[in-house]
Amino acid sequence: DAFEQALAALPRARDLRFRVEHAQVLAESDIPRFRALGVLPSMQATHCTSDMPWAEARLGPERLQGAYAWRSLLATGVVIPGGSDFPVESPNPFLGIYAGVARRPLPRGEDRGWQPEQRMTREEAVRSFTSWNAHASHQEAELGALTPGRRADLVVCSDDVFTCPEERIPDIVPLLTLVSGEVVFRREAQPQ
């Protein structure tokens, strides 16, 4: 409501890309409002897997319908900038990607996950940590994707997050990290 009032008073403010941090538990009626207002729902995916053991008891069945509603939000056409919320959660982005894709807690179980109809695809989960964050901060021309003209910030990983078995996503580690094309981290070979 506050964003709606502010944007009505200052329509040019839409260019600022306002966002709601921790947009984890929403009233279902508010889900389409993000797109309508141009406000971004920023979420930390690992909170989903941390909260799932107690969420239903504390939120109740009605409020639970809007909890971590990634698919419902994405269906409206918004992007979801993501993050870890470190130090509350691990800064490891692969745990967040796994949470977005699997909606299962660690250690990995056999269950289908919590509210599996709200899962993200692997591409969406990766974008939440890369290009959607760049968009949210008006840096999409220089960050968020590997294309000519953008900074060469990249990570070479131990596995392919797009094709590896889902249960291996949390175990992915960086082998090499570049920032603006400069190597800033190289994993030393582990003794056999």
- Give the model's pLDDT for residue 13: 84
- Give the model's pLDDT for residue 78: 97
For residue 70, the Cα-to-chain-centroid distance in whole angstroms is: 9
Q: What is the mean pLDDT of the chain?
A: 92
- Give the model's pLDDT for residue 58: 93
**More reliable by pLDDT, 167 or 13:** 167
- Give the model's pLDDT for residue 12: 86
* Strand pairing class (19-20; 40-41): parallel
DSSP type of residue 108: P
3-state SS class at 177 = strand
Residue 27 has phi, psi (to 5 degrees) of -70, 135
Token couple for 63? 């409020």
Does the pLDDT value for residue 110 go beyond 80?
Answer: no
- Give the model's pLDDT for residue 112: 65
Instruction: Give residue-wise pLDDT tens across range 33-80.
Output: 999 999 999 999 999 999 988 998 999 999 999 999 999 999 999 999
CA 43, CA 52: separation in Å to the nearest integer? 15
CA 24, CA 43: separation in Å to the nearest integer? 6
Cβ atoms within 10 A of the Cβ of 69, count? 24
Does the pLDDT value for residue 192 go beyond 70?
Answer: no
Contact 42, 83 (CB under 8 A): yes
CA 138, CA 54: separation in Å to the nearest integer? 36
Q: Is 20 left (phi over 0), alpha (psi -120 to 50) or beta?
A: beta
Instruction: Give residue-wise pLDDT tens across range 128-143.
Output: 999 999 999 999 999 9
- Give the model's pLDDT for residue 119: 95
Which among 109, 29, 104, 99 has a CA at the least distance from the CA of 70?
99
Q: What is the mean pLDDT of residues 72-89?
A: 95
- Give the model's pLDDT for residue 80: 98
* Three-state secondary structure readout of 111-136: CCCCCHHHCCCHHHHHHHHCHHHHHH
Q: What is the mean pLDDT of residues 99-117?
A: 81
- Give the model's pLDDT for residue 15: 85
Predicted model pTM: 0.92
Which among 80, 78, 84 has a CA at the least distance from the CA of 132?
80
